[in-house]
């Protein structure tokens, strides 16, 4: 079991300019690393946040051949940290237009330890009139992904995945001790459900939950909730931002707490009910 370490959840407001997004995220990552964070996570769509498909696809090369992804890998190596790039849009095909919403976990050597494609697509009609159909552009992933690192076993998810408890139960039963939920939550759903669901996932699985978020009014016209947070296995909010401005929060991760909590409430040992 690793020694306790500091983790950070980065909150940003990504826009249409990838270089500006990189600069904004990198500055906060460097500040968190300077305070001692060894694991740092950024939000969903860190590299580019754009709801207009044509403009999004015009801005990106095919596949993972994006300089900005290489830059985040290099940053992890330079700072000697584990870095979760919460997600980036990855073009899979241009005709028809299909992309992946993909997370990248980099080790302190800059090597990619894991990739995860968001499984659950945000296709909803909200009470305030907002309509989202993520599946019209993004192809859902098919694999549950966790990665064993020198710090912890880390389970990956993205945003709308948060509403599907069975995903986190499977991650925890496969050994995940930290569950990551990089997000770009809408304001109505964020106000109503963000903290409640995050704390529920921590309690249900006896895991730490690290939830970095986008926040504020974005160039593409959407508004996101912010309120990034880190939650302990018993459900306590260890650190959070009570706003939607760029910043970060820090908390100590002690894996002994995960194992103690799972011994006290051994719900993961029960078989799933069909």
Catalytic residues: 44, 118, 159
Q: What is the largest CA-CA distance in the chain?
A: 52
* 258-262 CB contacts, 8 Å cutoff, 24+ apart: 258/177, 258/206, 258/207, 258/208, 258/233, 259/1, 261/206, 261/233, 261/234, 262/206, 262/233
State phi, psi for 243 to the nearest 5 degrees: -155, -175
Q: What angle do CA 239, 15, 182 make, to 5 degrees?
A: 35
Burial class (CB in 10 A: 0-12, 13-18, 19+), 26: middle
Q: What is the DSSP letter of 63?
A: B
Give CA–CA dist 130/33, Å, rounded. 37
Q: Please give the distance of CA 31 from its chain centroid, rounded to a whole number.
A: 19
Residues 6+ apart with CB under 8 A from 63: 90, 91, 92
Give the neighbor-by-neighbor strand order of the sheet with 112-117: 112-117, 97-106, 82-94, 37-41, 5-11, 247-253
């Amino acid at each position: 079991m690793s020694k306790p370490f500091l983790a950070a959840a980065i909150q940003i407001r990504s826009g249409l300019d990838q270089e500006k997004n990189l600069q904004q995220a990198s500055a906060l990552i460097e500040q968190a690393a300077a305070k001692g964070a060894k694991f740092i996570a950024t939000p969903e769509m860190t590299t580019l946040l754009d709801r207009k498909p044509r403009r999004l696809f015009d801005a990106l090369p095919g596949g993972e051949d994006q300089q900005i992804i290489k830059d985040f890998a290099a940053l992890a190596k330079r700072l000697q940290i584990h870095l979760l790039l919460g997600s980036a849009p990855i073009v899979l095909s241009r005709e028809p237009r299909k992309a992946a919403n993909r997370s990248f976990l980099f080790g302190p050597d800059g090597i990619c330890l894991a990739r995860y494609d968001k499984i659950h697509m945000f296709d909803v009609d909200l009470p305030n009139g907002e309509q989202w159909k993520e599946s019209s552009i993004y192809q859902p992933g098919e694999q549950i992904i966790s990665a064993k690192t020198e710090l912890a076993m880390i389970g990956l998810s993205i945003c709308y995945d948060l509403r599907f408890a069975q995903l986190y139960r499977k991650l925890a039963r496969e050994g995940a001790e930290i569950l990551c939920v990089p997000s770009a939550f809408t304001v109505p759903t964020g106000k109503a459900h963000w903290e409640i669901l995050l704390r529920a996932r921590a309690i249900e699985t006896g895991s730490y939950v690290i939830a970095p978020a986008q926040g504020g009014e974005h160039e593409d016209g959407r508004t996101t909730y912010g309120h990034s947070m880190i939650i302990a296995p018993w459900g306590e909010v260890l650190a959070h931002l009570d706003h939607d401005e760029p910043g970060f929060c820090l908390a100590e991760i002690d894996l002994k707490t995960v194992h103690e909590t799972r011994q006290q409430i051994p719900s993961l040992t029960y078989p799933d009910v069909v």
